[in-house]
Amino acid sequence: MKAMKRVLALVLAGVLCLAFAACDTSAKNERAADQSSVEASNNSETADAAEAKPTNGKLVMATNASFPPYEYYENEKIVGIDAEVAELIAEKLGMELEIKDMEFGSIIGAVQTGSVDMGMAGMTVTEDRLVTVDFSDTYATAVQVIIVKEGSEIISVDDLEGKKIGVQENTTGDIYASDGFGEENIKRYSKGNDAVAALSAGIIDAVIIDNEPAKSYVKANEGLVILESTYADEEYAIAVSKDNTELKENINKALGELKADGTLDSIIKKYIPED
């Protein structure tokens, strides 16, 4: 139970982090990651601070479209829970939605520099991210799970000690795994799907990722299973610039309406049918 205790301790530390805003190594990790994403986006034409605050009737959303059922491609179009909810928010704001697909680690930087209006990517609210951006009210919950090959000797989180763990770079799964099991055991991939492919190919022993994408990946790839033991309850929200409180308030109002009239629930149910 050693590893389990450590994970619990980490989760507790996360909760304390939330309470005291005095965060530890994971804060450093993430700040470093956010910094590099700012640099990365500064180099790309899509994220130029000079074109800050896109308005002109467009609501520009940054996402990473390989995170089903929240965002993924279907016939070259980005669909999913986030895409549908964002579409309805834009409609309520009298704006036209434009989605920009980028690395998950670049989203916060893009929101911060103002090259996009919001980041919506199954993104967990964390104290570290709140240092650089604001978040809307939450619209969904998630947990981190562990995917392994069928018949694997890994049957609980305890067995992950010393194993090669794949994660999606810059995500909360990445932070938990590196904090809990050591940098040297972590392999980072830019897409969850790539981590899962590496697991199927036997390059890594497990993948730590959010539960709903995990279900989609396991469904799409034979021979994989999700362990029963889960950890880290998380909440998803929309990231907005700290300079744009008006947009945050408008998003919250729209989200509030979508929650109140049952629309949000029905979108979630459409993509996540109850088992």
What count of other Cβ atoms lies within 10 Å of the Cβ of residue 13?
15
CB of 1 to ligand GLN, least distance (A): 26
Structure tokens at 4: 């389990």
- Residue 124 engages ligand GLN in binding (rule: CB under 6 A): yes
Contact 239, 135 (CB under 8 A): yes
What values do phi and psi take at 233, rounded to 5?
-75, 135
Q: Which is nearer to ligand GLN, 121 or 268 (CB)?
A: 121
Residue 261 tokens, joined: 């009239």
Interaction between residue 216 and ligand GLN (CB under 6 A): no
**Number of Cβ atoms within 10 Å of the Cβ of 150:** 9
Q: How far is the CB of 121 from ligand GLN (least distance, A)?
A: 4
Q: Could you say which DSSP state residue 188 is in?
A: E
Per CB under 6 A, the list member of 210, 250, 251, 268 interacting with ligand GLN is 210
- Minimum gap (Å) between residue 120 Cβ and ligand GLN: 10
Number of residues this chain uses to bind ligand GLN (CB under 6 A): 13
Q: Does 64 bind ligand GLN (CB under 6 A)?
A: yes
The stretch near ligand GLN (CB under 6 A) out of 94-102, 165-173, 245-253, 255-263 is 165-173
Window contacting ligand GLN (CB under 6 A); options: 14-22, 53-61, 168-176, 265-273 = 168-176
Does 135 participate in binding ligand GLN (rule CB under 6 A)?
no
Strand-pairing partners, residue 140, are: 236
User: Tokens for 29?
Assistant: 């990790």
Residue ranges of alpha helices (H) inside 146-244 are: 172-181, 192-200, 211-220
Site membership for ligand GLN, residue 168 (CB under 6 A): yes
Shortest separation between residue 171's beta carbon and ligand GLN, angstroms: 3
Residue 13's H or E segment, with its range, is helix 2-20
Q: How far is the CB of 153 from ligand GLN (least distance, A)?
A: 27
Q: Which of 216, 210, 214 is nearest to 232 (CA)?
A: 210
User: E strands along 128-176, which residues?
Assistant: 134-149, 165-168
Number of H helices, E strands in the chain: 10, 12
Q: Give the pairing of strands 58-63 and 118-119.
A: parallel
Query: Shortest distance, CB of residue 129 to ligand GLN, whole angstroms?
Result: 8
Q: Which of 17, 26, 104, 128 binds ligand GLN (CB under 6 A)?
A: 104
User: Of residues 122, 255, 258, 264, which one binds ligand GLN by CB under 6 A?
Assistant: 122
**Least distance from ligand GLN to the Cβ atom of residue 57, Å:** 27
Which residues contact ligand GLN (rule: CB under 6 A)? 64, 67, 104, 121-124, 142, 168, 171-172, 210, 234
